[in-house]
Structures are given as C-alpha cells and as structure tokens.
A and B are shown apart, each in its own frame.
Chain A
Amino acid sequence: MYLITNAIKNLVRNKGRNILLAAVTLAIIIGAVVTLTIHNAASRVIDEIRLDIGSRVTIEQDIMGMFRSGMGVEELAENTIHIPIHDWVRFADSAYLSNTIFNAEVFNLESESLLPVQATPPGTNILQDVPFRILGSSELDETLSDIIVHGRMFEGINEVVIDDELAHINNIELGDTIELNALLSTWGELAGRELADKPFELTVVGIYSADLYERPLFRFSDIFTSFETIASAGWESNLGLNMTAEYFLRNPDYLELFENEVRAKGLPDTYIVSINQPAYDRVAGPMLSMKSAVMTFSIVILILGSLVLALISFLVIRERKYEVGVLRAMGMERGKVAFGILTEAVVITTLCLVVGLGLGNAVAQPIANGLLGNRVAAAEARSEELQQDRVAAVVVFGGQMQSEHSIGYRPESEITVAISANVIIQIIIITLALAALSGIIGVVIITQYEPLKILRERS
C-alpha cells in the first residue's frame, strides 16, 4: 500500500516532469479518442450505407458492356434477351436473399368499356387521352395508400385502386369490374411472333385522388394493383411489359454467391448482377475518405507519440537514477521500485485517460463535421463535373449509362460521433500500452544498476 501512496506523492513532488509526461500522454490519448471515435462512427455509417445500397442487387442488361464490345444500336436490339417474368420470380427463391421487390408495368392497353382521362401535357395546350397503365408492385406503396379517398388498398388478385377522375368519368363505384386488354398481338407483329392479346378483368376496391402536379408519378389513368395480379396473368415473353426487380441480400458479402446461383438458373451473360456501385461510391465516398484519413492520422499519432513518450520516459528515469539508488540502498527490493515507477505511469495515464476521453469526445464531433464537410463539398463539385459528362454520354448511348444510377443519391453528409464502449475499450488498451511503455523503460533501466554504483556516481 505504501508503494502506491509513495508513487502518488512522487507525482506531486515532481510536478514538472510529470506534467511533461502527462501532456504527451494526454495528446496521444485525445488524438486516439478523436480518430478512433470518428473512425468507428464512419464505419458504422458506411456499414449502414452498405446494408442499404450494398445489399440491394439489380439484374440488368449490360448495355454499356455491349457498346464497349463494339455493338451498334441494331445489334444491341438483336442481341437483347428478355428475361421472362417467371424467371425474375425464380431468381428470388434464394437463401441469400432477405426480400425482393418486383415492379411490373403493363402498357399499350385498350378498353372498350372505359374512357381514358384527358389531360394537357405540360408545355402544350392540346387535350390528349392519357393512356392506360396497370402498375403492379410486390411492396406496399404507402404513398398510394395515403391518398385513397374511397375504399381500401388492394389485397387479393385482380383487385385494383384507380384514380378518382377515371372513376368519375366512367361512373365506376367500389366493387365494379373494369376490363382492359393488353395489345400483345401488336408487339408480336413487330417482333415477328404470334401473340394473343391479354385480357384483364379487375375489381375496383379503392379510389385515390392525386394532384398531377404535386405527384407527377401518378397519372390519371394509372391503375394500381399487386405484382401477383400481373404475374398471374401468365406471360410468354416480356413484350408489352416492363419489369424490374430488386433483390435484397441478407449480407452484402453474398453478392458473388447470389450471382453464381442466378447464373446457374439461366441468367444470360449479357446481364450483370450488381449492387448500385456508383450510388454506393457517391453516398459513402466522403465517409470512406474521412475514415481512411483518420486511420492514417491515428497511426501517425500513436507511432510518433509513443516514440516521444519513450524518449521522455528514458530521460526521466535517468534523472531519477539517484532516487532509485537511495531506495535500493535503503533495502527496497528491485521489484518494488519497479512497481512504484509503474504505478506512477499508470496513475498519470489513468488521469490522462479520464481527461482525454472527455476532451476527445467533446472535440470529435466538430472535427468530424469539418472533415466530412470538406469531403462532401469536394464530392459535390466532382459530381457536377460528372453530370456534365453524363449529358454528353446520354446523347451517345441513349441514356443507358451506369453512372446514371447514382442520380438521386447524395453523399452522406451527417455523422453522429459519440464515444462508444468499443472505443473506450480500445482507448483503455492503448492507455495500458502507453503506461507499460513509459513504465517498462524505467524498469528495464533501473534493473541494470546496483545501488552502490548509482550512489558512487552521484558522489
């Protein structure tokens, strides 16, 4: 016990050198707290982005790749392979997926019993028929359910929700059946195939009211239903049908496994299975850059700081050689002298740990905001340049650019930096290492001297 008491008294007795040691230790700890806190927070955000974007897989035709391989527009059309709707559904039957969202659109529809809504397209004064579309999604669309003014959302097969204007001009009431015909024979003629038109008998269970200008996605003649309604109609080909599918991986690392699986199920080579990498890069780019910078800074701080601390510890213990000689001459065991010196180092570093955790935590958020803000601004500036390049590329490739996929995504510009248990554990380990470094140097030096030798040198 007296060793600890004496060690604490020693800290007060030798303020100058201990303040120097504490200042260096504190600087290292604050640096480590700030960098590790920011690093961990950035990792967390990146993981979230990765889970959000990195787990969302799309399967699409590699148009850019086909262009790069020298195909012209005509060859591209000839080589385009349409994946039947049942294959999209079959791909979703995978252990690597947590969820799949299918969206299908049936267009080129006509109806003998329904009048289409007429509207004036923006920029013109001419009143035009708004063509019918049947839109089916496997995901509940809350935007739609929020604007249903009569009835309810569709649930069963062939149940639909329609626009109130369409209902009004056709005197449609809830429970009425509407009939539409998908003109597949027209598409078949164009493709040189014999296809029969596909009739739809749909029951209206809800009526929505949408402001065209506030909600441009909704068109007056759009008829919303479930994906199952469209899929159950039976489709030999994708003619007359637009189909998209988003597959959500259980873990972003399953991408390759999932791709192998769908290839084995017959996915053509002209299709690519990918996450939205451009979007991921755009959203996570500044965060990744900041994470990398703070990690580098952290390593530099720890290496340089440790070297400085080792040097100071070495000089301090040389200065304390006489004290060690006196204690040893009084009969104090070598191990007890070492314990005392280690205790001093531990007390200094523990105090620095407490102060460093508080100060580091206080300054980490503003530093993170500053670092991230600069990187986001730089990324936005780069994005504007890319946008201009894209306009040129759209002209050349008809808009089928991979980089287009990042449109609508913005770099993540917010980070909440707070010290976590994980960071505290890491800092404690670093602190113990620093205490060991500064203490062990002393211990190694003092064990080399005999008390008489030290005292003789002094005399």
Chain B
Amino acid sequence: MNALTLQNISYEYEGTNRVIFKDVSLRFGAGKVTTIVGKSGAGKSTLLSLLSGLDVATSGRISFGGKNLSEINRNRYRAQKVGIIFQSLNLLTNATAIDNIILSMNISGITGIDKKTRAFELLARVGISREKAHRKILKLSGGEQQRISIARALAHDPMLIIADEPTGSLDKDTEANVLEIFKSLAHDDGKCVIIVTHSENVTAIADEVWGLEDGVLCLLPVQTDTGGGRDVCNPPRAFESWKE
C-alpha cells in the first residue's frame, strides 16, 4: 500500500536557477523502511522537507493517502500524520525531555491517552531514564538529544516517519536499538519510514534504498534481511560513491 506518492516533482531554490529535482516520481510504501542516500548537497534534506510538508515543490504533486499535500492543511498534516526527526534535532532546548514529547502530543490533538505515561514509555524505548526525562534538553548529551528527537517523532503515533540522519550521534548499541525500532514500526505497525542517511548500518535495514544525484532518484540494490538484489537505475551508481 502506498503511503506517499510523488508525481513529476521538480524543485529549484527560490531566487536561483539551481534545480534540485526534475520530474521525480516515486512511491513510498506503508510497512517499509525506505532510505535515501546521496552526496551532501544533493537535495536529500530538501526532499524530506517536501515530504514533511515544510516546503512546496516548484511543480508536481505529492499525495498522502490520495490527497494532494498542497490542498490540505499542512500544519495538521505535520502535527498528526508525520513524525519528523531533524538532522539538527530541533528540540525546545529550554524545555525538559518529557515536555518536548508531551507538547508534540498536544499539538497533534491526540486524546484519550495518559500523555505522561506514553511519553515515559517512548523515552524508555529509546533508552532515556525517568530521571533524564526531567532534565532540560541542554543538559543532555548529543546522543541523548537524538534519542529524544526520535521519541518525539513517535509521540503522536504518526503514519509517516521521516528521519534525517537519525543515528548520526548514537553509539553502536543505541544505533542498533533505534534501527530495530524503525524496523518494528514499519514491519510490525505498518508505518512508512523514510530515512535520509549516509550510514551503511541504516541502509542495511532498509527495504528500499534510493540514491539521489543530479536531481535524479535511482533505486539501488540493497541487502535486506532476506538477501537478494533489487532493480537498479540505469546507469547504475555504486552506493560506495555516496558514503562519507
């Protein structure tokens, strides 16, 4: 089932003629982990901005659940349907970890649950203790902040999880834990997980890996749990060239 569909998307930076994408069409399936790889400056984060409704394509159509993003309330879309894990985290640094997560639930308008309990559960799931949950973000390490950012993205149980380098600051054990969470969200809960990454560990859990270069998206071969290759774009580009 398709969660998010891109049809002939083009994008160029306002005021410049720099084209980032040209006529890109793509489908992100529910129940899958999709990763996007590419060199720095290739436009991966811009693509995530379009998918999360923070930016608008120059032309083309992005649909979520069959509805054009440009025709729906994109604030509500971000608040309820999408969980975003920013590369720069974008947490409220003066607030505590728990407050960041509860605020996300409040903005989404979620009701009928004990928000505090759910927030503690999510934090525990990413390895943040109750004691640390009450600390201000500024008093936590980079890795802890990244985990809180992940917990916040899951707080309102979104259908779509968009992550920009979500494991950049994590140690190997925590990274493995977080990747397990992403896998579980996709495979067990049927969420659509889209991750921009340079990490092989992340692509290793992906159901699909797309490469972005010169405004073109190419499906790359991946090693999944079950093994086996996939179609590649023509001419195929080596994944190795995008690693940093």
Contact = CB atoms under 8 A, between A and B. Distances in A.
Interface of A: 2, 6, 9-10, 13-14, 323, 325-334, 451-452, 455, 458-459
Interface in B57-90: 75-80, 82, 84, 86-88, 90
A331 B106 CA distance: 10
B78 A329 contact: yes
Given A6-B103, A9-B95, A330 B88 contact: no
Contact of A329 (B54, B87, B99): B54
B220 interface: no
Given A451-B54, A458-B88, A331 B76 contact: yes
Contacts of B106: 2, 6
Interface residues of B, number: 26
A449 to B, nearest CB: 12
A6 B92 CA distance: 12
Given A14-B94, A326-B91, A331-B77, 16 more contacts: A6-B103, A13-B95, A13-B136, A329-B54, A329-B84, A329-B86, A331-B76, A331-B79, A331-B107, A331-B108, A334-B75, A451-B54, A452-B54, A455-B54, A458-B88, A459-B88
Nearest to A320: B94
Contacts of B189: none
Nearest to A6: B103
A10 B88 CA distance: 22
A456 to B, nearest CB: 9
B79 A455 contact: no
B214 interface: no
A21 B99 CA distance: 24
B104 interface: yes
Contact of A333 (B55, B75, B80, B108): B75
Contacts of B84: 329-330
A331 B94 contact: no
The DSSP consensus for interface residues of chain A is helix
Interface of B: 49, 54-55, 75-80, 82, 84, 86-88, 90-92, 94-95, 99, 103-104, 106-108, 136
A6 B94 CA distance: 12
B49 A331 contact: no
Contacts of A13: 94-95, 136
A330 B79 contact: yes
Contacts of B90: 325-326, 329, 455, 458
Nearest to A5: B106
A331 B86 contact: no
Contacts of A459: 87-88
Contacts, number: 57
A330 B103 contact: yes
Pick from B78, B95, B99, B107 the residue with the most CB of A within 10 Å: B107
A331 B104 CA distance: 9
A139 B62 CA distance: 96
Contacts of A328: 75
A332 B88 contact: no
A386 to B, nearest CB: 66
A334 B103 CA distance: 15
A333 B108 CA distance: 11
A330 B107 CA distance: 7
A330 B55 contact: no
B55 A452 contact: yes
Contact of A330 (B87, B94, B99, B104): B104
A331 B80 contact: yes
Select the residue from B78, B88, B90, B99 with max chain A CB neighbours within 10 A.
B90
Across chains A and B, which 4 residue pairs bring their CB atoms closest together, nearest first?
A331-B79, A331-B78, A2-B106, A13-B94
A2 B103 contact: yes
Contacts of B104: 330
Contacts of A333: 75
Contacts of B54: 329, 451-452, 455
B92 A326 contact: yes
Given A451-B54, A455-B88, A332 B107 contact: yes
Among A14, A329, A333, residue most surrounded by chain B Cβ atoms (within 10 Å): A329
B155 to A, nearest CB: 10
A132 B92 CA distance: 98
Contacts of A451: 54
B86 A455 contact: yes
Given A331-B76, A331-B77, A323 B92 contact: yes
A19 to B, nearest CB: 14
16 contacts: A9-B95, A13-B94, A13-B95, A13-B136, A328-B75, A329-B78, A331-B76, A331-B77, A331-B78, A331-B82, A331-B107, A332-B79, A452-B55, A455-B88, A458-B88, A458-B90
B95 to A, nearest CB: 6
Nearest to B14: A453
Contacts of B99: 9
Contacts of B79: 330-332
Nearest to B89: A326
A445 B90 CA distance: 20
Contacts of A323: 92, 94
A451 B77 CA distance: 14
B14 to A, nearest CB: 10
Nearest to A452: B54
Nearest to B155: A330
Contact of B78 (A14, A330, A334, A455): A330
A455 to B, nearest CB: 6
Contacts of B95: 9, 13
Interface centre among B76, B99, B103 (most CB of A within 10 A): B103
B128 to A, nearest CB: 19
A330 B53 CA distance: 11
